[in-house]
Structure 1
Amino acid sequence: MPRSAARPLRPVALVMVLLSAVVPVWLSSPDAHAANADGRHNGLIRHDGRIRNDGLIRDEVTFRGGAGLPLHGTVVAPASPARHEVRAPGIVLLGGSGPGPRTEYRQEAETLARAGIVTLVFDKRTVGYSTLHRDFGLLADDALAGVRLLRSRTGVDPSTVGLWGFSEGGWVAPLAAARSGDVAYVITIGGSGLDPLRTQTWNLTTHLRHRRITGSFPHAVAGPAAQLLYSAGLFPAADYDPLPVLARLRQPVLALWGAYDNQVPPAESARIFQRTLGKAGNRRVTIRFLPGAAHNGHRTTDGFDRLGGPRFAGNPLGALAPGYADTMASWVWAVAAGRAPSSSAFPAPHQQAVSTPLPGGTGYEAAALALLLTGFAGYAVTGIRRPATRCRPARRLAVLGLTTVVGTPLCTLSIYVAGEGVAAPVIAGRPLAWLLLQLCAVGVLALTAVTATSAWRHRNRYTRATRTRLIALVTAGALFLPWALHWGLLAG
């Protein structure tokens, strides 16, 4: 997996400690092992089959994923085969970002099983995967371990076991399929054709607009804040490029997006999938948009709510959108029968905003932050020993400048950590915290002028060391102007 994020610069160690406390934001292993569901040992650690009154068999399994890590999952299968003439196809479900417990995808697993498709859903690893570290290659190893488990299961056709990847899984499933001919097909739902950081900035700014936050704040989140995250190495797998992987896919692909997807840019991603796979010669690519569906393919009115379905982490997941399960099941059975549909694509729904690539010059953010912190904090920390030589405007400038320079990235980066909800309350289209920072920025510029004037007028009162401190402080105030303009602190 490519990753070229620069290491944090040493001069900003202090602020990086602060940022690391609040920033996640949204990833060489030995082969994994699989197992037979009838209990024969083939890498399977545990197996416990149960038939419930809903007509489904659930086997609790533990198998070894990438680097030999035990992974816990459930194989869900119909009690009686849906189609007696063939062995059942199989599918491994790969969840989105975050902890990803298997219960989040219970609806998909059970619905596919009722359609006669043997389904494995498992808890995402917690070793080698964290807020600040993502290894898509390791997650792909886990996926292939799951494929091997289903391929060795009695009653499953080993030649028709595929992968389903949701959101982050839309990067992982193609990577796993490109690595192994054991994967018969790939389904993605809400997969992004863009790198993770660009995808996340589109996601956040879309949600900010939904909260009627306009002006410079969304720009600061998607621009300077994203640059700082990237240059500091605080956004995991920020520049992972999915295009080379898509270009290597030879398996049939069903790429789905909810018509109301507001977490990845659906129209852009669909064009990228269609163009990249088609250019690579894959003629079995089906692209569909699900009416009335959100990012996860579940029912919604606008993409921001969920209708029906079970609750997960206290929030409704939404019931599966009409046509979602039928589209997947009929497509899988067509592939299993050797009749994978030829490439086709539905027209894309309107996408409210186009994503923007990460602006260039990412090293500027850390360097500018270092200079400003040195100028403002240096004066505030060292001070002036003699009361007679103290410059009152300078002290105020140092404190206000330091507050603004630290507060601005923390305010914007908090959106990456906790979501757009932390932007409340909103006044005149601006988060209150952002509005206060904008007022502070004006104050910094005013105090810079006052301090420079006062220091020049009383220059004969100061020692050489004091004049040096004042020059450094006023220089920081002058450099603050382009920095504030870049962050949008002086914009509407």
Structure 2
Amino acid sequence: MVTAVLVALAVTAPAPAHADTTTGTGDVIATAVDFTGAGGVTLHGTVLTPATPAGPARRPAIVMLEGAGNRGRDYLMPEARAYARHGITTLVYDKRTDGYSMLDRDYGLLADDALAGLRMLRSRPDVDPERAGLWGLSEGAFVAPIAANRSDDVKFLITVGAVGVTPAEQTAWAYGTYLRHAGVGGSLPDTMRGVTVRTAIGAGIFSESGFDPVPHWERVRQPVLAQWGRLDRDAVPGESSRLIRGALERGGNTRHTVRIVDGVNHNLHRTADDGFDRLPGLPAGYGDVEARWIADPAPGTVPAGDFGAEPAAPAIGDPAWYESPVILLVALLAMVAALIIRPRVRGLRAARWLAVLGPVTVAGTLLYLLALLATAAKVTGPVLLGRPVVWLVLQALACATVAATVAVGYHLLRHRPAQRIRPGLLLAAGLLFIPWAVQWGLLIP
């Protein structure tokens, strides 16, 4: 991981406060703020506070760290308002776009941004700096322990849906979970959990794929409230809760609590689909437990819990040599180039079919798998006989391509045409297609 450069922080003057009118109660004040993150990047956020004055007793505070992607501060605004109504000064901010994308992530850089936001909160006269901490959701829970290890300014950590395995393992596990929920069986789940993930890593489009959060949790000394929804379908919750609790115990942290929340999903929201949806609504009493824990973070102040059995996260090894982007690109270009030659082999219509079926199958497969990657395997299209219809069509095309390859090969061996170079290239492309299709699961039921 690239270590981010910590720079001096400058907090700009806040914009005028305005009452939160989304609930019609006016019980929360939202103040727009800018602050300087790592590398001098200006970050934009909102500080939410109760409408009632703090009085002589200053308030606790949290900085909220969102999950993967950059949805903007509005995504966590319902949680932020809930915490503000519980008397907690809360900062939500837009994640940086300079130096962060789904293809280019650096958790250390995000940790420095979080610490910049925390310093801004601690400088406020209504905040008790000894009760200021971080709240991290999913990817934000990768970032939170890094920040806690870098600064004693972090007085506590609250996490939601933290992951205890590597991002690659968690992603592969979630692919399997969502595909099973969609009724998908056969080769596609294995393709998504294996070769697709490894190829993305080899191509350099899955940054931080091998990040191991356990060593960072072993060094956390601050109080920790680690929370998972009982219906979390994303974070490998059973294994993650055991790994993180074990890491804290090995590190000697006796001030940690694991909380399992019944009836809620990955982000502790209400669910109408057994945890596989992301409804915006918060459950009743959201923030009650967290507010009490911040007031008294001693172990035992929050009921703990545990998960039952769940499928283990698959081990993701290094990409094989034939899964490297260079080899993959060369093989695909050679295959497609040979297939589009479209040679005329007298008396053999299969040659024309092979020249069409090969490129269509290759392009269709890559496009469909890219679509699954973009939707985290949550949008498969219609499913028939335990397979997405698109995948069934691609498998049928792959079988037809193999059949055409066999027909071309048989014809060339039997008739031995005088001009054999172009038909030979066509046959070579068809033969190269067969192991490629096996590798990607197209010829596996």
Please report the TM-score for the alignment, with normalisation by the length of structure 1: 0.82
Query: Any residues of structure 2 matched to 1:84-95 within 5 Å, and which?
Result: 86-95=57-66
| SS of aligned partner of 1:44 | coil
My pick for the range that moved more, 387-396 or 474-483, is 387-396
Change (3 A) 1:45 1:136: farther
| SS of aligned partner of 1:239 | coil
- Equivalent pairs counted in the alignment come to 439
- Give, in angstroms, the shift of residue 381 of structure 1: 4.2
Which whole-Å CA distance do the structure 1 matches of 2:146 and 2:34 have between them?
23
Show the counterpart of 1:208.
179
Query: Any residues of structure 2 matched to 1:428-443 within 5 Å, and which?
Result: 428-443=385-400
Query: Any residues of structure 2 matched to 1:121-270 within 5 Å, and which?
Result: 121-270=92-241
Which whole-Å CA distance do the structure 2 matches of 1:258 and 1:192 have between them?
12
Work out whether residues 376 and 399 of structure 1, in 8 Å CA contact, stay in contact via their aligned partners in 2.
no
- Give, in angstroms, the shift of residue 117 of structure 1: 1.5
| SS of aligned partner of 1:183 | coil
Change (3 A) 1:203 1:291: same
| SS of aligned partner of 2:339 | helix
Cα distance per residue 1:12-47 (max 9 Å; x no partner): xxxxxxxxxxxxxxxx334252xxxxxxxx532434
Which whole-Å CA distance do the structure 2 matches of 1:476 and 1:78 have between them?
68
Tell whether 2:296 aligns with 1:334. Answer: yes
Work out whether residues 391 and 455 of structure 1, in 8 Å CA contact, stay in contact via their aligned partners in 2.
no
Show the counterpart of 1:22.
none
Which whole-Å CA distance do the structure 2 matches of 1:365 and 1:346 have between them?
43
Tell whether 2:5 aligns with 1:29. Answer: yes
Which whole-Å CA distance do the structure 2 matches of 1:388 and 1:276 have between them?
66
Change (3 A) 1:361 1:343: farther
Aligned with residue 401 of structure 1, among 358, 364, 368: 358
Show the counterpart of 2:40.
68
Which whole-Å CA distance do the structure 2 matches of 1:376 and 1:145 have between them?
51
Which whole-Å CA distance do the structure 2 matches of 1:491 and 1:268 have between them?
30
My pick for the range that moved more, 214-223 or 45-54, is 45-54
Change (3 A) 1:421 1:159: closer
Show the counterpart of 1:24.
none
Structure 2 unaligned blocks of 5 or more: none
Show the counterpart of 2:26.
54
Work out whether residues 162 and 184 of structure 1, in 8 Å CA contact, stay in contact via their aligned partners in 2.
yes
- Give, in angstroms, the shift of residue 439 of structure 1: 0.9
Change (3 A) 1:171 1:345: farther
Cα distance per residue 1:435-478 (max 9 Å; x no partner): 1111112112212221111112222x324xx33x4444434433
Which whole-Å CA distance do the structure 2 matches of 1:487 and 1:143 have between them?
40
- Give, in angstroms, the shift of residue 398 of structure 1: 3.3
Cα distance per residue 1:110-151 (max 9 Å; x no partner): 221222221111122222222321122221121111110111
Cα distance per residue 1:264-321 (max 9 Å; x no partner): 1110110110111211221111111111111111112411245xxxxxxxxx4122x3
Structure 1 unaligned blocks of 5 or more: 4-27, 34-41, 307-315
Show the counterpart of 1:15.
none
Which whole-Å CA distance do the structure 2 matches of 1:282 and 1:232 have between them?
39
Cα distance per residue 1:334-378 (max 9 Å; x no partner): 14xxxx326998342335432212244433224663464244323
The one-letter code matched in structure 1 to 2:307 is P
- Give, in angstroms, the shift of residue 192 of structure 1: 0.9
The one-letter code matched in structure 2 to 1:29 is V
Show the counterpart of 1:488.
441
- Give, in angstroms, the shift of residue 58 of structure 1: 2.5
The one-letter code matched in structure 2 to 1:332 is I
Which whole-Å CA distance do the structure 2 matches of 1:333 and 1:268 have between them?
29
RMSD: 2.6
Show the counterpart of 1:362.
320
Tell whether 2:418 aligns with 1:462. Answer: yes
Which whole-Å CA distance do the structure 2 matches of 1:274 and 1:343 have between them?
16
Higher relative contact order (CA 8 A, sep 6+): 1
Cα distance per residue 1:148-182 (max 9 Å; x no partner): 01111102111221000011111111111111111
Tell whether 2:303 aligns with 1:349. Answer: no
Show the counterpart of 1:311.
none
| SS of aligned partner of 1:341 | coil
Change (3 A) 1:407 1:413: same
Change (3 A) 1:236 1:351: farther
- Give, in angstroms, the shift of residue 390 of structure 1: 9.0
Which whole-Å CA distance do the structure 2 matches of 1:325 and 1:331 have between them?
10
Tell whether 2:384 aligns with 1:427. Answer: yes
- Give, in angstroms, the shift of residue 202 of structure 1: 1.8
Which whole-Å CA distance do the structure 1 matches of 2:60 and 2:345 have between them?
85
Which whole-Å CA distance do the structure 1 matches of 2:85 and 2:252 have between them?
34
The one-letter code matched in structure 2 to 1:478 is L
Aligned with residue 374 of structure 2, among 404, 407, 417: 417
Work out whether residues 90 and 117 of structure 1, in 8 Å CA contact, stay in contact via their aligned partners in 2.
yes
Aligned with residue 380 of structure 1, among 336, 339, 348: 339
Work out whether residues 335 and 432 of structure 2, in 8 Å CA contact, stay in contact via their aligned partners in 1.
no
Work out whether residues 336 and 429 of structure 2, in 8 Å CA contact, stay in contact via their aligned partners in 1.
no
Which whole-Å CA distance do the structure 1 matches of 2:327 and 2:230 have between them?
41
Change (3 A) 1:440 1:457: same
Please report the TM-score for the alignment, with normalisation by the length of structure 2: 0.90
Work out whether residues 46 and 63 of structure 1, in 8 Å CA contact, stay in contact via their aligned partners in 2.
no
Q: Percent identity?
A: 42
| SS of aligned partner of 1:48 | coil
Cα distance per residue 1:189-241 (max 9 Å; x no partner): 01111222222222222112111111111111111111211111122322222
Which whole-Å CA distance do the structure 2 matches of 1:421 and 1:55 have between them?
37
Which whole-Å CA distance do the structure 1 matches of 2:124 and 2:2 have between them?
35
